[in-house]
Amino acid sequence: MYKRGICIILVCIMMTLTLSYGNEDLKSIQIGGESAIVMDVETGRVLYEKNIYKKLPMASTTKIITALLAIENISLDKKVKINAQAEGVEGSSIYLRAGEEVKAIDLIYGLMLRSGNDSATAIAYEISGSIEDFAELMNKRAKEIGAKNTNFVNPHGLHDDNHYTTAYDLGLITREALKNPVFKEVVRTKFWTADKDGYKHFANKNNILDICDGGDGVKTGYTRRSGRCLVASATRNDMQLIAITFNDYDWFNTTKMLLDESFNIYKPYTLFDEKQIITKTRVLDGKKKEVSLKPFKSSIIPMDKEEDKKLLTVIDMPKALHAPIEKGQRIGKMTTYLYGKIINTTYLIANESIEKQSLKDKIKDFFGIGQ
């Protein structure tokens, strides 16, 4: 084992920590919702907040995690036999019948586009065998994501006093879901025809897809107890942002305004490019004496016009490596801070493969042959 070295790249030396974390113009926006948040999908950075840790009912936005679990646990082409408990569930429905067989992907589209409570129930029974066991799985997955102030008791969001989340937690859950390409495609789809003759045609209820530039998701929710809840997303200039509002009568206009203002104030800032050589480290017993390191992927973060002066990136990597080394091998890690908070983490990988020296190579090295 080799000692690890800590190398610090100062994008800008941070002399003092700024107490505020976000743009003052955006922070000053007043909305009618009880709670709201704007979050960057790539980094999880919170750009706007109002009561983001307040526990509230979230109605059918619950179905975001139900859809994610369906995608993660059921083959999309599988024909799911509809459990009798899924037929006739109150509220919004795609009118499933007990015993019929429906492809999992169609259940997911019915869940997210038409907000089918029966679809949510069918998914729960298919994965876990009961509502209670599925709720346990939902809570387990939520905790893995980091949603610590959330509790699910059902897969659809019909009201229960013990069924709640926060704007921050729901942002984390949505961010995780949007990293899944199937989920991302489903929620931005405006119209879906199920794979069954004359069966179902699902039109998306989410008006954000039409009224917001770059609108691409995610989910509406409403009960009398929760009020109107909306998780909206949009992508512009390689940035995808999530806007959430709870108990907001003007839900679509609120989230559209928050997204528009956030995109106006925050611009994409390329922190690192995946082709960029960041640093090098020594290689022992290799045919080359050092290896170049680059980021695992490009990192684009939302920044206002002054914030690049407050960035600090720390590199954690070994001082030396043993050959052989494979191209793409994970070598170290870069952590970037803004206002003293982590805003981005990415791995450093080897830019090339380096073979181990043979005995002949070592002898040549010893005598300086070929140098």
Sheet containing 290-295: order of strands: 4-9, 311-318, 330-338, 341-350, 290-295, 279-284, 320-322
C-alpha span between 84 and 97 (Å, rounded) = 8
Q: Does the active-site annotation cover 128?
A: no
CB atoms within 10 A of CB 6: 10
Catalytic residue among 35, 92, 93, 115: 115
User: Cα(351)–Cα(333) distance, rounded to whole angstroms?
Assistant: 14
Element (H, E) at 235: strand 227-236
Say which DSSP state 157 is in: -
**93 assigned to active site:** no
In terms of DSSP H, where are the helices of the chain? 24-27, 63-73, 104-113, 117-128, 131-145, 167-178, 181-187, 208-211, 251-265, 359-367
d(CA 357, CA 365): 10
Which residue is catalytic, options 35, 50, 60, 233? 60
Given the residues 63, 219, 256, 294, the one annotated as active site: 63
Integer CA distances (angstroms), 80 to 77, 230, 339, in order: 9, 29, 49
Paired tokens of 338: 């803004």
φ, ψ for residue 134, nearest 5 deg: -70, -40
Encoding tokens for residue 84? Answer: 């009798």
Determine the Cα–Cα distance for residues 66 and 69; give it in Å rounded to an integer.
5
The question of whether 360 is a catalytic residue gets the answer no
Residue with structure tokens 């859809």? 67
Catalytic residue annotation: 60, 63, 115
